[in-house]
Amino acid sequence: MGYGDYWRAHRRLSHQYFRPAAVSKYYPSSAKSVHEMILALRDTPGRFMEHIRHMAGSNVLRIVYGIEVKPEDDPLIPIVEESVQVFSKITVAGAYLADSLPILQHIPAWFPGAQFKRDAAKWRPVVDAMYLQPHMEVKASFNNGDARPCLLTDVLFEMSQDREGRDYTIDEDVAIGVMGVSYAAASDTTTLTLFNFVLAMLMHPEVQKTAQEVLDGTIGRSRLPEIEDRDALPFITAMVKECLRWRPPLPLALPHRSVADDEYRGFHIPAGSVVIGNAWAILHDEERYPDPDVFNPRRFLDGEGRLRKDVPDPTDAFGYGRRICPGRYFALDVVWLAMANMLAVFSIEKPMDEQGNVIEPTGEYMTGSFK
């Protein structure tokens, strides 16, 4: 989507509901989802990946669409999961030859080299279902007068009001796009960051032990951590930062296109060039982060355990410029709460095989935009 009024309408709506001043009203929903995840992990710890995904997805569905997801076999979750997998595949830079040779977009679908068109035809119904199915459910409830409290209900109410004298109006296709992207982006970023957190705890049990000692010493064992405890627990915040830096969920930022000729360090960048931010390289820059391959949350803390201001935050994990992820504040809140609760209740240990031998994690990843 190019810059212009249409893009600005999407960005304005995203900022309205996910700016720092707005995300605090989502704390109760996030806490509820995290607590449900803790109970699920207690009962079936071997399904931890499924429970983390369910937590992230159900939380965003409740906030955006007011939908209470079923604990088991909810029909919406598979739709969204498949859509996110599609997104991960198609946003890999160079995934299709048409990325490098735009003229190929004009060839027929049956022609060699037009795999992108055949894939698009196969995947479009899945993506459309993710965007439209929950939207139409909420819209029907709104029109019947029994709307559920959620972001989309607020948007539909605003759309129904007299538009005279307002600074801008909201079109329904903009609402559909923003709400759908909010769900997909927020749930997947949260999920992948927490997967990487589990991996880090398996590979660095000494960090886990320190975090648990900090939690026990600060809030005790009579209650679970709350988002209001964040200022008193800088070590947990440092762990969130380090997880994003050590294994960014989007190691290569989404491709951008230059809108004008530019120059960078002597390299000429013509207008229309595809530019890809290498978040992995930036977040593993030895000058910014010494020993970058080592998982070390203390790099973000000073000698007294306070957060340092001279170490760059790993915001590169959320993109760049005007297209940086507007939901990053919400995602950081959920990730912090989930990490703190998991550490307060459980110890994350390496599995064993049938012979009782410890299985060492390889740390290897599958191909895709998200890691």
State the pLDDT at residue 129: 73
User: Looking at the predicted structure, is the pLDDT value of residue 356 above 70?
Assistant: yes
- List the domain range (segments joined by +) for residue 86: 5-345
pLDDT at 19 over 90: no
CA distance 220 to 358: 31
Nearest to 174 by CA among 369, 4, 58, 367: 4
Element (H, E) at 246: helix 234-246
Mean pLDDT of all residues in 149-167: 75
**Lowest model confidence (mean pLDDT) among 8-22, 54-68, 262-276:** 8-22
DSSP string for 11-62: HHHHHHHHSTTTGGGGHHHHHHHHHHHHHHHHH-GGGHHHHHHHHHHHHHHH
CA distances from 138 to 141, 151, 153, 274, 344 (A): 5, 10, 7, 38, 36
Segment 49-56 shows an average pLDDT of: 91
Asked whether residue 145 is domain-assigned, the answer is: yes
Picking from 32-46, 315-329, 343-357, which range would have the lowest pLDDT averaged per residue? 315-329
Task: Indicate the annotated binding residues for heme.
Answer: 325
Name the domain count of the chain. 1
pLDDT over 90 (residue 10): no
Is residue 50 a contact partner of residue 138, using CB atoms and an 8 Å limit? Answer: no
Distance of CA 203 to the CA centre of its chain: 23
Q: How many residues does the chain have?
A: 371
Average pLDDT, the chain: 83
Mean pLDDT of 309-320: 90
Q: Identify each DSSP E strand in the chain by its residue range.
A: 256-257, 262-264, 267-269, 274-275
pLDDT at 369: 44
3-state secondary structure of 113: coil
| Position 3 pLDDT exceeds 60 | yes
CA-to-CA separations, 295 to 33, 203, 344, in angstroms, rounded: 27, 9, 20
Helical pair 27-43 and 48-65, crossing angle rounded to 10 deg: 160
pLDDT in tens, 186-238: 777 899 999 999 999 999 999 999 999 999 999 999 999 999 999 999 999 99
> Please, are residues 188 and 58 in contact by the beta-carbon 8 Å criterion?
no
162 is a domain residue: yes
Q: How far apart are CA 321 and CA 241, in angstroms?
A: 20
Mean pLDDT of 42-53: 92
Scanning 144-233, the segments in alpha helix (DSSP H) are 151-160, 172-203, 205-219
Q: Percentages helix, strand, coil for the chain, rounded to the nearest 5?
A: 60, 5, 35
Within a domain: residue 11? yes
- φ, ψ of residue 164 in degrees (nearest 5): -65, 130
pLDDT tens-digit map of 75-121: 666 666 666 666 555 555 556 555 555 655 666 666 666 666 676 66
Binding residues: 325
Burial class from Cβ neighbours inside 10 Å (0-12, 13-18, 19+) for residue 248 reads buried
Collapsing DSSP to helix, strand or coil, 141 comes out as helix
Taking CA atoms, 324 is separated from 122, 153, 240, in Å, by: 29, 26, 18
More confident residue, 203 or 5: 203
Asked, for residue 305, whether it belongs to a domain, the answer is: yes
Let me know if residue 358 belongs to a domain. no
- Report how far Cα 333 is from the mean position of its chain's Cα atoms: 11
Task: Tell me the one-letter amino acid at 185.
Answer: A
What distances in angstroms separate CA 345 from CA 13, 134, 200, 228, one per listed residue? 37, 34, 17, 18
Which pLDDT band, with edges at 50, 70 and 90, does 370 fall under?
A: very low
16 part of a folded domain: yes
Angle in degrees, 0-180, between the axes of helices 328-345 and 27-43, rounded to the nearest 10: 40
* pLDDT attached to residue 104: 58
Q: Does residue 123 sit within a domain?
A: yes
Query: Distance between CA atoms of 357 and 351, rounded to whole angstroms?
Result: 8
Q: Give the global pTM.
A: 0.84
Output the domain CATH number for residue 50: 1.10.630.10
Confidence of residue 341 (pLDDT cuts 50, 70, 90): very high
* Structural domain includes residue 281: yes
